[in-house]
Each structure stands twice: as C-alpha cells, then as structure tokens.
Structure 1
Amino acid sequence: MNMPQTAPKTALVIGATGGIGSETALALLARGWKIRALNRNPARAARDMAHLGNIEWVKGDAMSPADVIAAAKGVSLVVHAANPPGYKNWVGTVLPMLESSIAAAKSAGARLVFPGAVYNFGPETFPLVDETAPQRPRTRKGALRVAMEQRLKAASEEGTPVLIVRAGDFFGPCSTGNNTWFSAALVKPGKPVRSVTYPGPHKVGHAWAFVPDLAETIARLVDREADLGAFDVFHFGGHWFDKGVDIAHATARAAGVPDAPIKRLPWPALYLAALFSETLREMLEMRYLWKKPVQLDNRKLVAFLGHEPHTPTEQALRVTLAGLGCLETSSAPRAQLAIEGKA
C-alpha cells in the first residue's frame, strides 16, 4: 500500500540575498522545504544567488505590506532577515519592514522567525547574557532592536507565533562588507590576507556567530515547531574567544599566513571619516560592545536541542575567507563543512 506523500512546506525568506537569509534558505532547502524569496529585482537575484539552487524568486519590496502579504500566500514560515544595506537609514526602514513581515505572517497563519542581536543589552548585563536579561540599550540601534522585539511580542499575543534567535557578530561565506565587522574590519573582501585588523582590546573576550551554524540552528528549532512557544527566544553561543584577538590569529592561520601581522583598528581616524559616512557612524555606535566581554548564554538552546551546531573555528574561517575571495585559491568548498555539536 502506497502511503500518501506530504507536500513540502514553504518558507518565505525576506532578505535572501544577505548572509543570514541565504544561509537559512540553504538550511531549510536541505530539509525539503520549498523556498520563496522576495526581491525588487528577482531576475538579478536569481542570477546572483544561483548557488542557492531551486528558489522561487518573486518581485516585491520589503517596505510594502501588500507585496509581502502576496508573497507569503500559502507559506507556513516567514524568515525576516532584511537589513538596510550599509547600516543606512535604520530609523526609516527597520520597523516598516518588520511590520510588512508581521502582516504577511499573520495573513498566512505562519510563524515569523527573527535573527536577533546583542544590541538590545547594556553593559549592566555583561559578561554573560541570557534570554531574560533586562534590555536597556545604550544606542539608537539598540533602542530600535528593543522596539522590534516588543512589536514581535505584541504580534505573538495577537496570534502570530514568533521565534527569535539572538547571536553575536556574524562571519560567513556570504557576509558582506556592509553589515559585518569581519568583512568590514578584519579582512578586505576580494584580496588575499596579508594582515588582519582587530577592532577591540586584545584581551577582552568576544562572541562571533558563524552564519551557517546559526542558520542550521534556526532550521533545527523550526523542526521542533510543535514544541516551541508562541513567543520563543533563544541565545546562540557561537564561537567565543576568551581573548578576542585570538580570532585574528585564527584567521591568519586559516588563510595560510600564520605569521601575518595583527593590526589595531585606527578608531580616531574612523571617527573623523564618520563625519562623511553614515555607515561608519552607525558602526561606531556599536564600539561599546568591543570594550567589555559580551557572551550569550546558550544553555536554554542546548537544553532544547541537545547541542548547538558548531563548525570548528579554523574550518569556519577558511570557508568564510573562500567565500569573501580572501584566499589565494578558494579551496574550501561548502561540502566540506562539518557542523558538530557544542554545549
């Protein structure tokens, strides 16, 4: 007797051309999901993101609730991974884009997934921050992040289930120079590594999130939909360095130049340049997160999943450098990724 086959579920990914969006799409595709992605230029997105495989690209603007609602028809999951390019105009874009995704998830009866950050938290919660820590941000972007999560909490109370996974600074093969410290400061995308620049005090600990691991974590949590709450928040531990500068040394080793010099970021020069650059002004606002150790407490996540997906550090860095065009030869194909478990 042939058993009826269950039709694959569909997820709408907002921001599928970005680091988190593209990696989450890949993780869900690997589980048999159908992926629909919204883009203002779907033909170009399909061409530029061909490595993602079989994705349905639809035309639309994340700022338009009508566009996102139309794209979400029939989906059971909406992944909100949209960010303003280059950190520009956060005030005018992040909440309207989120409102579009909330409206779409509500219309489709879908769960909304939101990758969170540590911007929500002030120094009084450091060095180890769990999901229940008070949110008293010190910056405009932190206040916006708090407002976004408050809006998501309200949406969950109105019947739209929400999953938030907060993580530290991102690095990964699809990260861009616009929105990650790794590709904006540590290395120069498109150029072989000759030196590595580290933004923080060398002995202060720092947390990093390898985006494929974060995406795998999101996918595994979504697999447990029946066990998730209406509003569930998890912290992703990622790659923690007791001495923050150790990621710079590991980057040099992964690039095959272990003796490459480790340089300090010239903060005074950046403050001067920020007078003419909105992107730099927005990035400099986050400097406080480099001055003290900030580690996300992942005990809730580990208790729920059994372990946290974790690619060994130098392997993750080599895949990242290959994706950014920073190796003499890009010899770290994604097929070699070996995601292990970490408590």
Structure 2
Amino acid sequence: MPDTLPTPAARTALIIGATGNFGGHVLAALVKRGWTVRALARDPVAAARKAGQRMPVDWIAGDAMTGADVLAAARGCDVIVHAANPPGYKNWRGLAVPMLANTIAAAKAVGARIVFPGNVYNFAPDAGEAIAEDAPQRPVTRKGAIRVEMEASLRAATQAGARVLIVRAGDFFGPASPNGIHSWLFSRRKGRVTAVQAPGPADVAHAFAYLPDLAETTARLLEREVDLAPFEVFHARGHVLGGAQGLAESVRRVTGQPRLPITAFPYPLIYALAPFVELFRELIEMRYLWRKPIALSNAKLVAFLGEEPHTPLDAAVRATLSDMGCLDEAAPVAGARPVMA
C-alpha cells in the first residue's frame, strides 16, 4: 500500500446496492465529502429514479452476479462498498455469497478496500450487551452461518492482497430506508402511525442503528485509510433500547400521542403463513434477537475516531417519521443529518 493516499476529493468509490438502506446512505455521505461515486445497477435509470438523489453519481449498468460487470465498474476505484442483499431474503446462499465473491475478485484486481456492513447474526443468543470485535462468532441460525462464512471469505481475501473494512451495527432505521426495521414495526393508516408492534419483551435490550449515523461513521473511518489495518472490524453501538418499547416511547413523544398503542407482534399469523412466505420464515428464525439482550461495544470505534456519530433518539425518529410522511410538519430537526443533498 502506498505511503500516501489520494485526498477524499480525489478518491473514487463504487457502491453495490446503492438503492438499499446502507448503500444509499454511505453514497450520500461520501458525495458530501467530495468523493467521486459510482453505483452499479441492472437498470441505471430506474435505480437513479428510485434513489431520488440530486447528486453527482455515475450510475453504471451491470449485475452484481456477473463478475465481469463488477470488475469493469470497479476499475480506478479506491473503495468498493458491498451493500447488496438478495431481495425479499430469498435464496440467500445462492445470491449473497456469489455476489460477494465477485466483489472480492474485483477488489483484489484493482487494489480497492471493500466496505461490508456486518450485523449481530454472527453471535450466539448469550453473547451479551457489549460484544467486542474479537468476540467468538457462534451463529445459531442458517443466515447467521452464511454471514460468518461471508466474513471469513473477506478475511481470507486480505491474505491475497485485498483490504477490508467491516462496520457492524444493529437493526437499521432512518429516512430514505424503505426496508428499515421501522417499515414493519410501525403500523400506519392515512399517513399517521397507529401503533408500534413489539416483537419481544420490553426489558430485553435491542440494538438499533440510525443509518445516517452509520454512514457518517463509515465515511470517517475511510478518511483514516492510512491508519487502517488490511482487515478491520468496528462495532457501532447505535441506540440500545428496551426492545421495541423504547422505540415506541420515542414515537409517542415525537407524534404527540402519549397513548399510542404498543401491540404484540402477530407471530401466530407469521407462523401460519411461514410455509408460503420466505420473509416470514426469516422473521421466525431471527426471533431470538428479541428474546435475548444482544448489543455491541463501540470501545474500539470511540478510541479510533474519538466518538461515535450519534443523533439523539427523538431527532432520529422524527427524521424517519417525516420521511415516511407520518408527521404533520416536515421541518428539519436539530441533530438530524439530511440524507439527500
């Protein structure tokens, strides 16, 4: 690796999964810092329309499942943000693993660092509320085992000259994230939140990651490239709340509905329909995350950056609800970071 690196304004990133939750927010954070950003999409016009972004992004036609497409898009890039996920949680092994393999091959060929969003699926239910980066990874679910396998392939790639940055966090929520956890925890009717569903007990700690904060964290880490090891993992703590209850209390404050119902998650219906709906089978498999307290320690991140970017909970929830069209006013909130320029 060279002793000096290009300034952020001269650096180029390829985003794979730019219309998704993590990819879209990291894209915005890097553009804000003057990066040149490319985004791979099967239909660039439709992807740009879906992203709704008014920023200088070079949308490139290609498929993350096609190695040649990924390599062509990655030429000249310093970073590849691998934020692609199988749609609807379908065929995880058949899609997620080969997509990542294509990114790894391209990164090794062009000398780019891979950025990969990690999650807590890698850890056992008794891993605790302050999981460190070097904690044992003992998944208890099929998807957790696949995530461990994917991270192992990233670590192995660093032995062949690749560089990797894994940023691990809890459940995503925030504006411009239609697939965030709020999309299925918040019940809505006619533009108003009518209830918040609780998938687990209120006294069980659960980690939530506000996406603008996570993107800010990722961008700051990338600005410290010269200080990063070939294989780096950082944990972001985010908001650790008492299950969905803590999120619901914030929604009550933000919407001015102190009696907003907190309802039980409809697990009986989910179990009944699971044989026919793959997403429901995934929800059942991951139910343990709401029954046991699992959260991450950000000690390494704070020591490295000096702080973890952290928007106050009510400001984060307000920005999320405003983006969903669930508030009467759409005024920006102090402390919330806009996603789109």
Q: TM-score normalised to the size of structure 2?
A: 0.93
Give me the whole-angstrom Cα distance separating, in 1, the residues matched to 2:163 and 2:109: 12
- 1:332 deviates by 4.2
Residue segments in structure 1 that go unaligned for 5+ positions in a row: none
Cα offsets for 1:255-294 (capped at 9, x unmatched): 3323211111121221112121111111221100100111
What is the alpha-carbon distance in structure 1 between the residues aligned to residue 71 and residue 337 of structure 2?
37
- Tell me what 1:173 maps to: 175
* Distance in 1, Cα, partners of 2:17 & 2:331: 25
Helix, strand or coil: the match of 1:217?
helix
Which residue does the alignment assign to 1:202? 202
Does residue 254 of the first structure (1) align with residue 254 of the second (2)?
Answer: yes
What is the match of residue 62 of structure 2?
60
Question: In the alignment, which residue of structure 2 is the partner of 1:225?
Answer: 225
**Residue 143 of structure 2: SS of its match in structure 1?**
helix
Aligned to 2:336: 337
Quote the residue 1:325 is aligned against. 325
Match of residue 96, structure 1, among 84, 95, 98 = 98
Instruction: Give 1:175 shift.
Output: 1.8
Relative to structure 1, the CA distance from residue 199 to residue 68 in structure 2 (aligned partners, 3 Å threshold; closer, same or farther) is same
Q: Give the Cα–Cα distance (whole angstroms) in 2 for the partners of residues 197 and 52 of structure 1.
A: 34
Quick check: 72-81 or 276-285, which moved more?
A: 276-285
Aligned partner of 1:34 among 33, 36, 57 = 36
TM-score (norm. length: structure 1)? 0.92
Residue 120 in 1 paired to residue 122 in 2? Answer: yes
Give yes or no for contact 2:187–2:197 (8 Å, CA) kept in 1. yes
8 Å CA contact 1:196, 1:252 repeated in 2: no
* 1:84-104 per-position Cα deviation (integer Å, ceiling 9, x unaligned): 111111121110110111112
Tell me the amino acid that sits aligned with residue 172 of structure 2: F
**Residues 123 and 139, structure 2, Cα contact 8 Å, conserved in 1:** yes
**Code of the aligned partner of 2:76:** G
Would the alpha carbon gap of residues 78 and 268 (structure 1) be closer, same or farther in structure 2, given more than 3 Å must change?
same
The answer to whether the 8 Å contact 1:127/1:292 transfers is no
Letter in 2 for 1:75: C
Distance 2:145 2:189 in 1: 30
Secondary structure of 2:193's match?
coil
Counterpart in the other structure of 1:74 = 76
* SS in structure 1 of the partner of residue 121 of structure 2: coil
Greater shift, 277-286 or 48-57, is seen at: 48-57
Alpha-carbon distance change, 128 to 200 in structure 1, aligned in 2, over 3 angstroms = same
Moved more, 17-26 or 260-269: 260-269
SS at match of 1:281: helix
In structure 1, what is the Cα distance between the partners aligned to 2:243 and 2:174?
21
* Contact residue 311 and residue 335 of structure 2 kept, 8 A: no
Deviation at 1:45, TM superposition (A): 1.3
Give the match for residue 285 of structure 2.
Answer: 285
Q: Distance in 2 between matches of 1:334 and 1:33?
A: 26
C-alpha separation in 1, matches of 2:219 and 2:170: 18
- Closer/same/farther in 2, CA of residues 102 and 193 from structure 1, 3 Å limit: same
Distance, in Å, in 1 between the alignment partners of 2:231 and 2:160 is 11
Paired position in structure 2 for 1:156 = 158
| Separation in 2, partners of 1:244, 1:231 | 34
Q: 1:114 Cα shift?
A: 0.2
Deviations 1:209-248 (A, max 9, x none): 0011000000000000000000000100001114651111
Q: Deviations over 1:285-340 (max 9, x none)?
A: 110010011110110000000000001101101111122233344x044896259x
Q: CA-atom RMSD, angstroms?
A: 1.9
Aligned to 2:17: 15
Structure 1 residue runs of 4+, over 6 Å off?
Answer: none
State the AA in 2 paired with 1:289: L
Q: Percent identity?
A: 53
2:245 counterpart of 1:245: yes
Shift of 1:51: 2.2
1:136 to 121, 138, 146: 138
The equivalent of 2:3 in structure 1 is: none
**CA apart distance, 1:190:** 7.7
Give 3-state SS (helix, strand or coil) of 1:195's partner.
strand
Aligned to 1:79, the other structure's residue is in SS state strand
Mapped partners of 1:27, 1:324: distance in 2: 21
Following the alignment from structure 1 to structure 2, what is the Cα–Cα distance between the partners of residues 56 and 335?
Answer: 31
- Give the letter for the 1:157 counterpart: Q
Deviation at 1:53, TM superposition (A): 1.2
TM-superposition CA deviations, 1:41-63 (whole Å, max 9, x none): 00111222232511000000011
Amino acid at match of 2:336: L
CA distance in 1, matches of 2:221, 2:190: 34
Letter in 1 for 2:233: V
